[in-house]
Amino acid sequence: MNQFYTAESVTEGHPDKLCDLIADSVLDDCLSHDALSRVACEVLATKGQIIVAGEITSLHEPQIPAIVRSVLRKVGYDPARYAIQCLIHKQSPDIAAGVDCSLEQRRGSPQDPVLRLGAGDQGVMVGYACSETPQMMPLPVVLAHRLAGCLTTARKSGMVRGLRPDGKAQVTVEYDEDGRPLRLDTVVLSAQHSPEKPADELFWELTDKVLAPALQALPPDEDTKILLNPSGRFVLGGPEADTGLTGRKLMVDSYGVFAPHGGGALSGKDPTKVDRSGAYMARYIAKNLVAAGLCSRCQVTLAYAIGKAEPVMVEVDTFGTGSICADDCLADAVRLVFGLTPSEIIAQLDLLTPRYTQTAAYGHFGKPELPWERTDQAKILRATVI
């Protein structure tokens, strides 16, 4: 029996993504001046107001109002229309102590650099990879991000005039009985626009200049349902229409309905927060397992305790696609090949480099330029198992 899977994405001008962009821009600014900055930045955006709150401990003092105005300008909003509030204090000394000296070292383990840092929080992180696209991401997720990205490109380049920053995309793909993408069932695209833009002109331009290039991997057929601005008029958007918050688009950030989510947000957090670094490592592991030919679909789950360096759980689930050994054997191989303490993750994935603004919109996974998308451990993994 065929199944249908749906994924969504939003543009960088969506109020939640605007908040993620601001939070990660603050983080990047801190890391670019002090690589050991501790940052947990939260942002709220509503009509006429941007509120930046959280904990920052750094040798550098970020000029947050200037960062916010820069992001607003780049996304396409007028900074003059927003009052900016900053409610920032330093990281809790209790949390800092647990991160700076892990539970293992406090209990007398030998002084080992990989055990120095404890996890910045407790939590569960999930990574996922599959063989159905070159990005090793589910096809609906790839197509939804492409639609949202193409919509922004069409606006910023002037290819489609009259567009405004807010927008959302959603894609439903029909899969055959063997779990392979079969056809494009439904496409939903909502694009904020100026009041003067004629609806028929907008629909034609979106079809020709956004949908066509974005959906090349699986073009619509005669039965595909295409819904453009299904609510009708979409003039009022962004923070004026909908309050935005950091971390409110977790499934857009990750794998949609294809994998569970541990619940921890990603943006605005430095890599000692395993909500972020652990999620990147889980994706790195899952992608290398698929690239090694050990499975065609894979979910890796890591769990941490605050202040403890080593994970409290490492689990691999290949959904019955494992080709060589059982999933528990793959989990053992993962522990042998990958360093899973915060110090090891930060070093392996180069997480002190300020690149987090790149991740804030259109997904944290599937972008080849990011270090957790490498498959450089695939051969080692295969050799370990065989």
Any binding-site annotation on 42? yes
Any binding-site annotation on 193? no
The backbone torsions φ and ψ at residue 259, rounded to the nearest 5 degrees and listed phi first, read: -145, 145
Any binding-site annotation on 185? no
Any binding-site annotation on 242? yes
Contacts of 108 (CB under 8 A, 6+ apart): none
Any binding-site annotation on 221? no
Query: With the C-alpha atoms ordered 78, 22, 215, 231, is the resulting torsion angle positive or negative?
Result: negative
Indicate the length of the chain as a whole number: 386
Any binding-site annotation on 16? yes
Any binding-site annotation on 253? no
Any binding-site annotation on 167? yes
Any binding-site annotation on 33? no
Any binding-site annotation on 269? yes
Any binding-site annotation on 55? yes
Any binding-site annotation on 74? no
The residues facing 41 across adjacent strands are: 54
Q: Binding site for ATP: which residues?
A: 14, 166-168, 233-234, 242, 248-249, 265, 269
Q: Binding site for L-methionine: which residues?
A: 55, 91, 242, 273
Q: Binding site for K(+): which residues?
A: 42
Q: Binding site: which residues?
A: 14, 16, 42, 55, 91, 166-168, 233-234, 242, 248-249, 265, 269, 273
Q: Binding site for Mg(2+): which residues?
A: 16
